[in-house]
Structure 1
Protein backbone atom coordinates (compact mmCIF):
# COMPACT_ATOMS: atom_id res chain seq x y z
CA UNK A 1 0.00 0.00 0.00
CA UNK A 2 1.50 3.27 -1.13
CA UNK A 3 1.25 6.69 0.48
CA UNK A 4 -1.58 7.67 -1.88
CA UNK A 5 -3.67 4.67 -0.82
CA UNK A 6 -3.09 5.44 2.84
CA UNK A 7 -4.15 9.04 2.33
CA UNK A 8 -7.34 7.98 0.54
CA UNK A 9 -8.10 5.48 3.34
CA UNK A 10 -7.70 8.22 5.96
CA UNK A 11 -9.92 10.63 4.01
CA UNK A 12 -12.62 7.97 3.49
CA UNK A 13 -12.44 7.04 7.18
CA UNK A 14 -12.72 10.65 8.30
CA UNK A 15 -15.70 11.35 6.05
CA UNK A 16 -17.48 8.12 6.94
CA UNK A 17 -16.91 8.59 10.67
CA UNK A 18 -18.19 12.15 10.53
CA UNK A 19 -21.27 11.17 8.50
CA UNK A 20 -22.03 8.27 10.84
CA UNK A 21 -21.70 10.60 13.81
CA UNK A 22 -24.18 12.99 12.20
CA UNK A 23 -26.63 10.16 11.51
CA UNK A 24 -26.44 8.29 14.81
CA UNK A 25 -25.32 10.68 17.52
CA UNK A 26 -25.77 14.09 16.01
CA UNK A 27 -22.12 15.09 16.24
CA UNK A 28 -18.58 14.18 15.31
CA UNK A 29 -15.88 12.50 17.36
CA UNK A 30 -12.89 14.61 16.39
CA UNK A 31 -10.58 13.86 13.49
CA UNK A 32 -8.87 10.80 14.99
CA UNK A 33 -12.13 9.37 16.32
CA UNK A 34 -13.86 9.86 12.98
CA UNK A 35 -11.03 8.15 11.14
CA UNK A 36 -11.04 5.20 13.56
CA UNK A 37 -14.82 4.78 13.38
CA UNK A 38 -14.80 5.12 9.60
CA UNK A 39 -12.01 2.58 9.06
CA UNK A 40 -13.56 0.04 11.44
CA UNK A 41 -16.92 0.70 9.78
CA UNK A 42 -15.39 0.01 6.37
CA UNK A 43 -14.05 -3.32 7.60
CA UNK A 44 -17.42 -4.18 9.13
CA UNK A 45 -19.24 -3.28 5.92
CA UNK A 46 -16.71 -5.29 3.94
CA UNK A 47 -17.66 -8.32 5.99
CA UNK A 48 -21.43 -7.77 6.08
CA UNK A 49 -22.44 -6.42 2.69
CA UNK A 50 -21.23 -9.35 0.55
CA UNK A 51 -23.03 -11.80 2.86
CA UNK A 52 -26.22 -9.81 2.41
CA UNK A 53 -25.74 -9.84 -1.36
CA UNK A 54 -25.40 -6.06 -1.53
CA UNK A 55 -22.88 -4.35 -3.74
CA UNK A 56 -22.37 -0.61 -3.85
CA UNK A 57 -20.01 -0.40 -6.83
CA UNK A 58 -16.51 0.96 -6.83
CA UNK A 59 -14.91 4.35 -6.54
CA UNK A 60 -14.46 7.01 -3.92
CA UNK A 61 -18.15 7.77 -3.31
CA UNK A 62 -19.01 4.07 -3.04
CA UNK A 63 -16.16 3.60 -0.56
CA UNK A 64 -17.47 6.46 1.59
CA UNK A 65 -21.02 5.04 1.45
CA UNK A 66 -19.85 1.53 2.40
CA UNK A 67 -17.72 2.84 5.25
CA UNK A 68 -20.55 5.07 6.48
CA UNK A 69 -22.97 2.13 6.43
CA UNK A 70 -20.55 0.06 8.51
CA UNK A 71 -19.79 2.96 10.85
CA UNK A 72 -23.50 3.54 11.52
CA UNK A 73 -23.89 -0.15 12.39
CA UNK A 74 -20.84 0.09 14.65
CA UNK A 75 -22.16 3.16 16.48
CA UNK A 76 -25.59 1.59 16.95
CA UNK A 77 -23.97 -1.56 18.37
CA UNK A 78 -21.85 0.57 20.73
CA UNK A 79 -24.94 2.48 21.86
CA UNK A 80 -26.82 -0.77 22.54
CA UNK A 81 -23.85 -2.23 24.42
CA UNK A 82 -23.64 0.86 26.64
CA UNK A 83 -27.27 0.47 27.65
CA UNK A 84 -26.75 -3.12 28.82
Structure 2
Protein backbone atom coordinates (compact mmCIF):
# COMPACT_ATOMS: atom_id res chain seq x y z
CA UNK A 1 0.00 0.00 0.00
CA UNK A 2 2.85 2.42 0.83
CA UNK A 3 4.40 1.82 -2.58
CA UNK A 4 1.23 3.00 -4.29
CA UNK A 5 0.92 6.05 -2.05
CA UNK A 6 4.59 6.98 -2.51
CA UNK A 7 4.26 6.40 -6.27
CA UNK A 8 1.26 8.71 -6.52
CA UNK A 9 2.96 11.40 -4.43
CA UNK A 10 6.24 11.15 -6.35
CA UNK A 11 4.46 11.36 -9.70
CA UNK A 12 2.37 14.30 -8.49
CA UNK A 13 5.42 16.18 -7.18
CA UNK A 14 7.38 15.53 -10.37
CA UNK A 15 4.42 16.66 -12.47
CA UNK A 16 4.20 19.92 -10.54
CA UNK A 17 7.95 20.55 -10.67
CA UNK A 18 8.40 19.72 -14.36
CA UNK A 19 5.09 20.35 -16.11
CA UNK A 20 3.43 22.69 -13.64
CA UNK A 21 0.52 20.29 -13.07
CA UNK A 22 -0.21 16.69 -12.21
CA UNK A 23 -1.32 13.94 -14.59
CA UNK A 24 -4.28 12.63 -12.66
CA UNK A 25 -4.21 9.80 -10.16
CA UNK A 26 -3.46 7.00 -12.66
CA UNK A 27 -0.85 9.03 -14.57
CA UNK A 28 0.85 10.08 -11.35
CA UNK A 29 0.93 6.45 -10.20
CA UNK A 30 2.57 5.28 -13.43
CA UNK A 31 5.14 8.09 -13.46
CA UNK A 32 5.87 7.52 -9.76
CA UNK A 33 6.29 3.74 -10.07
CA UNK A 34 8.55 3.94 -13.12
CA UNK A 35 10.32 6.88 -11.48
CA UNK A 36 10.95 4.87 -8.34
CA UNK A 37 12.74 2.18 -10.35
CA UNK A 38 14.70 4.83 -12.23
CA UNK A 39 15.46 6.68 -8.98
CA UNK A 40 16.65 3.44 -7.38
CA UNK A 41 18.97 2.83 -10.34
CA UNK A 42 20.28 6.43 -10.22
CA UNK A 43 20.92 6.27 -6.47
CA UNK A 44 22.66 2.88 -6.79
CA UNK A 45 24.78 4.18 -9.68
CA UNK A 46 25.82 7.20 -7.59
CA UNK A 47 26.31 4.90 -4.57
CA UNK A 48 23.80 6.81 -2.44
CA UNK A 49 22.27 4.66 0.27
CA UNK A 50 18.58 5.00 1.13
CA UNK A 51 17.10 3.40 4.21
CA UNK A 52 14.30 1.06 3.13
CA UNK A 53 12.23 1.92 6.19
CA UNK A 54 12.33 5.68 5.64
CA UNK A 55 9.25 6.70 3.69
CA UNK A 56 10.57 10.26 3.27
CA UNK A 57 13.82 9.02 1.73
CA UNK A 58 11.91 6.65 -0.55
CA UNK A 59 9.64 9.52 -1.62
CA UNK A 60 12.67 11.68 -2.40
CA UNK A 61 14.31 8.89 -4.40
CA UNK A 62 11.10 8.19 -6.32
CA UNK A 63 10.57 11.89 -7.02
CA UNK A 64 14.13 12.26 -8.36
CA UNK A 65 13.53 9.28 -10.63
CA UNK A 66 10.13 10.60 -11.77
CA UNK A 67 11.67 13.99 -12.58
CA UNK A 68 14.44 12.28 -14.56
CA UNK A 69 11.80 10.25 -16.40
CA UNK A 70 9.78 13.36 -17.28
CA UNK A 71 12.93 15.15 -18.48
CA UNK A 72 13.83 12.19 -20.70
CA UNK A 73 10.30 12.08 -22.11
CA UNK A 74 10.34 15.82 -22.83
CA UNK A 75 13.68 15.51 -24.65
CA UNK A 76 12.35 12.76 -26.93
CA UNK A 77 8.97 14.46 -27.28
CA UNK A 78 10.54 17.62 -28.77
CA UNK A 79 12.08 15.67 -31.65
User: Which TM-score applies when normalising by structure 2?
Assistant: 0.93
* Contiguous gaps of at least 5 residues in structure 1: 1-6
Distance across 2 between alignment mates of 1:67 and 1:16: 6
- Which position in structure 2 is the counterpart of 1:47? 41
- Which position in structure 1 is the counterpart of 2:74? 79
**Residue from 17, 28, 31 that aligns with 1:23:** 17
Distance across 2 between alignment mates of 1:21 and 1:35: 11
Q: CA deviation at 1:46?
A: 1.0
1:64 aligns with 2:76: no
User: Which TM-score applies when normalising by structure 1?
Assistant: 0.87
Q: CA deviation at 1:15?
A: 0.3
Give the superposed CA RMSD: 1.0
Q: CA deviation at 1:18?
A: 0.3
After superposing on structure 2, the runs of 4+ consecutive aligned residues of structure 1 that deviate more than 3 Å are none
How many correspondences in the alignment?
A: 78
* Contiguous gaps of at least 5 residues in structure 2: none
